[in-house]
């Protein structure tokens, strides 16, 4: 039974806390509307692509669309776990997190409808085995565990899978390849604008993940740090396979894309997050908030 409220007690809201700083940023930068983005030039640019470019583009977009749906559906158990612990500031930020994921689903959907029309084919065949392994199995499994057993080890495994791997490595590498396709070729201005906004949102999500994982390590010690390392390493193999599997289908890649470049980029993202987690290790809450804020763009 509830006996008091944080906001009416002397504790009040901790406005200096890292989650409240992220909350302020989300209120300022997360309020854009995907429906305001004009995809009409994108629809024209789509018509000018050759068959290989179209296939490659829609494969990438399908992976983003399904991925945004997955992270929207799978986040709730983490929010529940945080709310049950009474961490009001973190839950306030997480309401923006979930709302933003829903907007990303919305935006990719608007883009797909604009370029393919509403009579498009089923897109599931663009989601290959390693993609399925992560988004059908690892991600929902890791998050759903929090419904029944939200202990610190399960929480860091969920956050590593969601924030460090799916958002920090896979989505970041996906944006990089998308930029290579559209920015370098000066096409799809609507999509470019959308992905720019989305990247900003995602930087706050990843920053929260760095904060959450580091807080749990600081509070619980080596057992939780070992779980962080183990989960990072466990998820790395299917992640690299996911990046590889799309490229294996083609002898020559469209848009002048290069697999080695993406492998190196994904590895760089992985190492960047690992270094940041190591840097935040053994620091107090205020200090690790500073490290986590380095993620925010
Ligand atoms: Fe997203
Ligand atoms: Fe996200």
* Distance separating alpha carbons of residues 15 and 24, to the nearest angstrom: 9
Q: What are the tens digits of pLDDT across the range 148-159?
A: 999 999 999 999
What is the overall mean pLDDT for the chain?
94
**Quick one: average pLDDT of 224-242?**
95
What separation in angstroms does the CA of 213 have from each of 78, 87, 105, 267, 294? 12, 15, 26, 20, 15
Helices and strands (DSSP H and E) totals, the chain: 13, 0
Cα(127) to centroid(ligand 2), Å: 19
Handedness of CA 17, 287, 152, 206 (dihedral sign): positive
Q: What are the tens digits of pLDDT across the range 236-264?
A: 999 999 988 988 888 888 888 888 888 89
* Distance separating alpha carbons of residues 173 and 200, to the nearest angstrom: 15
Cα(93) to centroid(ligand 2), Å: 12
pTM for the model = 0.95
Cα(158) to centroid(ligand 2), Å: 14
Cα(68) to centroid(ligand 2), Å: 8
Residue 285 has pLDDT above 90, yes or no: no
- For residue 133, the model assigns a pLDDT of 97
Around Cβ 176, how many Cβ atoms within 10 Å?
15
Residue 212 has pLDDT above 80, yes or no: yes
Around Cβ 144, how many Cβ atoms within 10 Å?
14
Band of pLDDT at residue 124, cut at 50, 70 and 90:
very high
Cα(210) to centroid(ligand 2), Å: 13
Cα(43) to centroid(ligand 1), Å: 23
CA 74 to chain centre: 12
**Quick one: average pLDDT of 174-178?**
91
Cα(170) to centroid(ligand 1), Å: 11
* Distance separating alpha carbons of residues 212 and 53, to the nearest angstrom: 39
Superfamily of structural domain 36-293: Ribonucleotide Reductase, subunit A (1.10.620.20)
Handedness of CA 144, 147, 149, 153 (dihedral sign): positive
Q: Which ligand has the nearest atom to the CA of 96?
A: 2
Q: What are the tens digits of pLDDT across the range 63-93?
A: 999 999 999 999 999 999 999 999 999 999 9
Band of pLDDT at residue 62, cut at 50, 70 and 90:
very high
Residue 282 has pLDDT above 80, yes or no: no
Q: What are the tens digits of pLDDT across the range 87-121?
A: 999 999 999 999 999 999 999 999 999 999 877 88
Cα(104) to centroid(ligand 2), Å: 9
- For residue 247, the model assigns a pLDDT of 82
Band of pLDDT at residue 183, cut at 50, 70 and 90:
confident
Q: Report the chain's terminal Cα–Cα distance, integer Å.
A: 41
Token output for 260: 């080695």
Q: What percent of the chain has pLDDT over 90?
A: 78
Q: Which ligand has the nearest atom to the CA of 175?
A: 1
Q: What percent of the chain has pLDDT over 70?
A: 100
Band of pLDDT at residue 139, cut at 50, 70 and 90:
very high
**Quick one: average pLDDT of 214-225?**
94
Q: What are the tens digits of pLDDT across the range 186-203?
A: 999 999 999 999 999 999
Which string of b and e fits 218-244 if b means at least 16 CB within 10 Å?
A: bebeeebbebbeebbeebeebbbbbbe
Residue 217 has pLDDT above 90, yes or no: yes
* Ligand 1 ion: Cβ-proximal residues, 5 Å cutoff: 68, 101, 104
Cα(163) to centroid(ligand 2), Å: 7
| Whether the Cβ atoms of residue 255 and residue 184 lie closer than 8 Å to each other | yes
CA dihedral 197, 82, 14, 5 (to 10 degrees): 130
* Distance separating alpha carbons of residues 76 and 123, to the nearest angstrom: 26
Cα(135) to centroid(ligand 1), Å: 14
């Amino acid at each position: 039974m509830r006996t008091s409220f944080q906001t009416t007690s002397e504790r009040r809201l901790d406005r200096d806390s890292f989650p409240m700083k992220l909350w302020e940023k989300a209120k300022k930068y997360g309020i854009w509307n995907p429906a305001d983005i004009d995809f009409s030039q994108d629809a024209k640019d789509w018509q000018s692509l050759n068959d290989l470019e179209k296939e490659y583009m829609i494969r990438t977009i399908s992976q983003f669309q399904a991925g945004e749906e997955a992270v929207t559906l799978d986040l709730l158990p983490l929010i529940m776990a945080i709310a049950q612990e009474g961490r009001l500031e973190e839950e306030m930020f997480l309401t923006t997190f979930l709302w933003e994921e829903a907007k990303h689903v919305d935006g990719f959907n608007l883009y797909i409808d604009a370029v393919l029309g509403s009579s498009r084919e089923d897109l599931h065949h663009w989601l290959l085995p390693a993609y399925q392994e992560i988004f059908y199995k690892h991600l929902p499994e890791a998050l759903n565990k929090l419904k029944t057993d939200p202990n610190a080890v399960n929480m860091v495994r969920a956050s590593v899978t969601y924030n460090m791997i799916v958002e920090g490595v896979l989505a970041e590498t996906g944006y990089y390849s998308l930029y290579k396709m559209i920015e370098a070729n000066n096409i799809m201005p609507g999509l470019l604008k959308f992905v720019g906004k989305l990247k900003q949102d995602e930087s706050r999500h990843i920053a929260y993940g760095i904060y959450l994982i580091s807080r749990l390590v600081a509070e619980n010690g080596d057992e939780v740090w070992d779980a962080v390392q183990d989960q990072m390493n466990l998820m790395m193999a299917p992640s690299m396979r996911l990046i590889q599997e799309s490229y294996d289908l083609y002898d020559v890649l469209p848009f002048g894309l290069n697999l080695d470049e993406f492998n190196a980029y994904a590895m760089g993202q992985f190492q960047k997050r690992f270094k940041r987690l190591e840097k935040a290790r053994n620091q107090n809450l205020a200090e690790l908030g500073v490290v986590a804020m380095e993620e925010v763009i």
